């Protein structure tokens, strides 16, 4: 079953699960400004869905994402440098804002990587909670070899794999196969293509057992711990914990555990799209 339509980001909600495919296969899903606009709109839709269990993101045409669409930058470079704010700054910063928004989604996010994840594509995958890749995946941040810098992705890559390792990978611009990218921490699971759908279904099956508001509280807690001082983070976590108990959902979860049954909110994993 495939997603259809001409949108740059093809989106479908199946049960409690959102599926989104980057749809510029002729450009290896390079991140144009219109595509980024559609990703931002997708984030708004998923964040507003209180029953959502996860967002699954992948690229059409057997490639995840080739990074920035340099066609747009070449057009900006062809124009004389303005006396006021440089439009290149706004264009680049918009990409960072999209990464921020995707990283901050209140639901779990899962990336499916086939083929190339390059430059900004590495950053896009880095903000996701879980990354499953086929064994033909290739990672690289070649920006320095093009005379530019990995400006907006740098902090997200550092959070994903650690500051020292990220620094070297960005400076050296080496191409990594799936095994090396997994060893670095870019990828969580590497599988052959024949096992891809089965592996994704198993991961979604774990999330299918979770209560939606508990998922959101846990994601919020995990993100808060990245930047909030420990006492404040623990205070906020206690408030979230109390709110979940007061909402009554925990009563059903505890009862289901004691009775060895699935909780009332359990949802079935739907038929998966083709990750093509």
* Residue 65 neighbours by CB under 8 Å, 6+ apart: 22, 28, 29, 30, 31, 59, 116, 117, 118, 120, 121, 124, 125
pLDDT, one tens digit per residue, over 153-172 is 999 999 999 999 999 999 99
166 φ/ψ angles, rounded to the nearest 5 degrees: -60, -40
Give the integer Cα–Cα distance in Å for 131 and 129: 7
Which residues lie across from 110 on neighbouring strands?
A: 56, 130
pLDDT, one tens digit per residue, over 167-215 is 999 999 999 999 999 999 999 999 999 999 999 999 999 999 999 999 9
pLDDT, one tens digit per residue, over 211-256 is 999 999 999 999 988 888 878 888 989 999 888 888 888 888 989 9
The yes-or-no verdict on residue 3 having pLDDT over 60 is: yes
The whole-model pTM stands at 0.93
Contact 148, 168 (CB under 8 A): no
Buried b (16+ CB within 10 A) or exposed e, 15-43: ebbbbbbbbbeebbbbbbeebbebbeebb
C-alpha torsion 63→202→190→51, nearest 10: 50
Contact 198, 275 (CB under 8 A): no
Closest CA to 138 of 122, 161, 149: 122
pLDDT, one tens digit per residue, over 95-144 is 999 999 999 999 999 999 999 999 999 999 999 999 999 999 999 999 99
The yes-or-no verdict on residue 74 having pLDDT over 80 is: no
Q: Which CATH number fits domain 9-206: 3.40.50.300, 3.40.50.720, 3.30.450.40, 3.90.226.10?
A: 3.90.226.10
Instruction: Kindly report the average pLDDT of the chain as a whole number.
Output: 93
Give the 3-state DSSP-derived string for the chain, with helices as H, strands as E and coil as C.
Answer: CCCCCCCCEEEEEECCEEEEEECCHHHCCCECHHHHHHHHHHHHHHHCCCCCCEEEEEEHHHCCECCECHHHHHHHHHCCCCCCCCHHHHHHHHHHHHHHHHHCCCCCEEEEECCEEECHHHHHHHCCCEEEEECCCEEECCHHHHCCCCCCCHHHHHHHHCHHHHHHHHHHCCCEEHHHHHHHCCCCEEECHHHHHHHHHHHHHHHHCCCHHHHHHHHHHHHHHHHCCHHHHHHHHHHHHHHHHHHCHHHHHHHHHHCCCCCCCCCCCCCCCCCC
Q: In what order do the strands lie in the sheet with 176-177?
A: 116-118, 138-140, 176-177
């Amino acid at each position: 079953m495939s997603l259809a339509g001409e949108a740059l980001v093809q989106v479908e909600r199946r049960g409690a699960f959102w599926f989104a495919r980057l749809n510029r296969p002729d450009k290896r899903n390079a991140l144009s400004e219109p595509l980024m606009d559609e990703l931002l709109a997708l984030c708004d839709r998923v964040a507003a869905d209180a029953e959502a269990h996860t967002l699954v993101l992948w690229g059409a045409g057997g490639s995840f994402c080739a990074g920035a669409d340099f066609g747009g930058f070449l057009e900006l470079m062809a124009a004389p440098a303005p006396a006021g704010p440089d439009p290149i700054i706004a264009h680049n910063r918009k990409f960072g804002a999209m990464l921020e928004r995707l990283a901050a989604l209140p639901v779990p996010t899962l990336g499916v990587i086939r083929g190339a994840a390059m430059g900004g594509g590495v950053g896009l995958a880095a903000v996701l909670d879980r990354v499953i890749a086929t064994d033909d995946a290739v990672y690289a941040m070649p920006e320095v070899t093009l005379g530019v810098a990995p400006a907006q992705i740098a902090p997200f890559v550092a959070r994903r794999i650690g500051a020292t390792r990220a620094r070297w990978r960005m400076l050296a611009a080496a191409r990594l196969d799936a095994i090396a990218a997994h060893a670095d921490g870019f990828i969580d699971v590497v599988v052959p293509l024949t096992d891809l759908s089965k592996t994704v279904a198993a991961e979604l099956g774990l999330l299918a057992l979770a209560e939606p508001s508990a998922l959101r509280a846990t994601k919020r807690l995990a993100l808060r711990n990245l930047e909030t001082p420990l006492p404040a983070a623990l205070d906020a976590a206690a408030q979230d914990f109390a709110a979940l108990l007061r909402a009554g959902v925990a009563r059903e979860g505890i009862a289901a555990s004691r009775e060895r049954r699935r909780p009332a909110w359990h949802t079935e994993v739907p038929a998966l799209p083709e990750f093509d």
